[in-house]
Structure 1
Amino acid sequence: MAEILLAALRKGFTTGRSSGLRRWYHPECTLESFADGRAEVVPGASAVLAAWPRVIGPPGRLTWWSVSAAPGGYEVVTQREIVKGGTRFPVRQLHQLHVESGRIRLHLVSSAAPHEPPALVPHDVAGVVPGSVAEFGHDGLSGAALFSARLPSGRPVVVKIVRPGRDWLAVASRDAGREGLLFTDGVYTALPAGLRSPVLSAQRHDSGWIIVMDDISAELDSAQRAGRQRMARDILTAAADMHAGFLGRQAHPGLCTLADRLRVFSPLQRLLNWRSSDNFPTLIGRMWETFAERADPKVSDAVLRLVADPSALLTRLGREAPSTLLHGDLRPPNLGVRGCDVLAIDWGLATYGPGDLDFVYFLCNSAWGDDEERDALEEMWLKLTDSPPGNPVLDLAVVYHAVAGELGVLLTTAAHRPEGLPRPSDAAVAWWMRRVRTAFDRLGDLA
């Protein structure tokens, strides 16, 4: 049955027509689309089928098709070559299908930057065997292109082509090739024992960078399945050691500033990237709408005032605590373990600021269970950093990440992620609301 459903969808993606799909959509299904720069919700099978050709787009030759099982259904990635105005160009879409009794109950559609051919990788990349390059599966939500390859020894690696001008995240954070610069300037080799970057080489190429990394897919996957408490202790210990080791050092000139880090998830990103194929800026707009709608009004008012003008928050952060190297994107999908080492990928948002910022970001993105887990992690962090309870810097870090959009991400994920997929519990949302309110109460007026 699943094979027939997927075959019908594949035909529809190629023809751009929904004829023959009615039997595969539940009468009370919903289509949510972010494919044209707007968030659109279409309820009911008849309305979905009418909207389908517009959402999917014109007919096109299917050049990429992949299906993977997901909780409650499937994730389908398509790329088609369509002709518009006499010009051929690729269109890539991500589809999440939630199936009930053999029919689609929820269909989420989003656009993404098109995959690019392995020919993009030049043959003189440091040690990579020519002809061994293949596409590496990834979400495609930024301008980086990833490819699988092998060194002459047979060691599997990932080749990352970074072109800052084509990556919305790089533009938003004013990144000129941060991951490559941190390698060439020796920052990764200066990391403390127990924390490693998998980057093996980095070299400038055209207007961007070519970065060769160890393929640590297995370590990233196994870390997701490991015991959360043990993983959290290893990660936080490694982060605290890094912060201590870089404390007081001069900031690397290529690091993201705290002000730019706030702008990455600004409500304006949706408008600044209106014509982009990247989907994430559109989701940012939806996230802030959900935050304004669902957050405690006192919290949302205080946070949004700082979104409009974060200068007082940034000034106080700079005054209250010394700064150090921050990973900037310290969350479970970017972290693995090999032996006694924590492996950290994606240093593209590496920042210079108080170490508590890394911790609060990690807590927002990992502790989605009960209150005891979050309380225990906060207590663990205070002990690792020898900080007192009620530390004002930790409160400032909580407010900072609320202003950066993390509370909105939490609320949106809890409210809109379909059943069966990992999402924060109601208890987690309530805990963060209390935690942000407490931080504002203790810090006083920051606006």
Structure 2
Amino acid sequence: MKVPDTTALPRGPRPSAATVAAVLAAVFVDEPKGVEVVERVTSIYESTFGLEIVTCRFATGTRRVLLKYGAPQHANVSSADHRGGLVREAAVYDSLLDRLPVRTPQLFGSVRLADGRACLVLEYLEGAHRLQHSSDLKAYERAARWLGEFHATAALELRPALWPGRLAGGSTIPTYDLEYYTSWAARTREAQAQLCGQNMWLSELCDRSSDAMAPLVEQPRTLIHGEFYPSNILCHGTDVCPVDWETAAMAPGEIDLAMLTSGWIGSARDNLENAYIAARWPEPACDQVSRLQHVLAAARIYECLRWLGDAHEREFKVRIDVLDVLRVAGRAVGVLA
């Protein structure tokens, strides 16, 4: 997988010093002596969303927070409903993540700027780095274990009897169904007409997308991150701290696992999958591994079609493995010869 090329993605203007001061004052309204902005530095991880590391002086001392700014005119909200923008991300923190015993950066608050953009004020984890910058398989295995535990806990804690099914503010979280999955086949055919013409098997896979992704519909749903790529996972010591929750949805957990293991092959990928299985199902049924592989193949088809069919993803540089992954997965679910 290549590094994202985000130079063409829309971002709003850098907020003024007065705007940042007003945001912090609104979020930390209970601070007895207010908040003083000491320094502002653009984060190296800024992409679709503006990201600023802001050093603040509080009555108790100085610390840094992360300000995350939405794109102008809601350009970050997808018509396919898999990206809900920062408003949905804030609601996911407030309504879902706060209910679960998981480590994620704390959301201190959210504010709507005068130009309509949302702004989140988040905990800044000193010394953390993105998993994508690590070559240590053990770090990836920790992420796989975190993911398995997260999916198991979310499936239990967010079942209908315990969770009303709505996010803060009355909005809803997407629930993936067959119509949603197959929409990506149609988007791929439209966006990649030349590629489909050059690879008839890809056109066939799009034609049979209902069969190809049926295993996902048959699986129990849990809360998923929705883009559980290494670029969205912070390593803070030995803690795993996923960020960027705007794509959270109710769907099979294997989708997140397919994204985490994208680009891995052979025994290394097996190790990640086994770490996930051990964390999610401490005493798995004897056929759990074979079932997982079947569902994972369908999840990889979805992940690749979403990559090919999403206008946002096409801003990324070419993923050289995507056709190979699709073809192998298509054979695994029985829709390609």
The question of a shared fold, defined as TM-score above 0.5 by the shorter chain, is answered with yes
Letter in 1 for 2:298: L
Residues 71 and 117, structure 2, Cα contact 8 Å, conserved in 1: yes
CA distance in 2, matches of 1:328, 1:375: 21
User: Aligned runs of 1:17-416 on 2, under 5 Å?
Assistant: 94=7, 110=8, 112-119=10-17, 120-121=19-20, 122-123=22-23, 124-127=25-28, 129-132=35-38, 134=40, 136-137=42-43, 142=48, 144-151=49-56, 152=58, 153-162=61-70, 165-173=73-81, 175=84, 177-185=87-95, 187-192=96-101, 195-205=102-112, 209-216=118-125, 218-221=127-130, 223-248=131-156, 249-250=159-160, 251-253=165-167, 254-258=172-176, 285=191, 288=192, 291-292=195-196, 297-298=200-201, 300-305=202-207, 317-318=216-217, 320-364=218-262, 366-367=263-264, 370-384=265-279, 385=281, 386=284, 387-391=288-292, 392-405=294-307
Shift, 1:240, TM fit: 0.5
Deviations 1:242-268 (A, max 9, x none): 110111523444323325975997875
Q: 1:252 to 1:306 in 2, by over 3 A?
A: farther
Q: Name the structure, 1 or 2, with higher relative contact order (CA <8 Å, separation 6+).
A: 2
- TM-score for both structures, normalised by structure 2: 0.70
Q: 1:265 to 1:160 in 2, by over 3 A?
A: farther
What's the secondary structure of 2:290's corresponding residue? coil
What's the secondary structure of 2:250's corresponding residue? strand
Q: Show structure 2 runs of 5+ residues with no match.
A: 29-33
Residues 157 and 212, structure 1, Cα contact 8 Å, conserved in 2: yes
Residues 39 and 54, structure 2, Cα contact 8 Å, conserved in 1: yes
Shift, 1:435, TM fit: 2.8
Deviations 1:305-351 (A, max 9, x none): 267xx5x6676533x21111101111111112223320111001011
Higher CA-based Rg: 1
RMSD: 4.2
Larger strand share, 1 or 2: 1
Taking every aligned residue pair, what percent have the same amino acid on both sides? 18
Give the aligned length. 299
Q: Show structure 1 runs of 5+ residues with no match.
A: 1-70, 78-92, 95-109, 272-284, 418-422
Deviations 1:33-52 (A, max 9, x none): xxxxxxxxxxxxxxxxxxxx
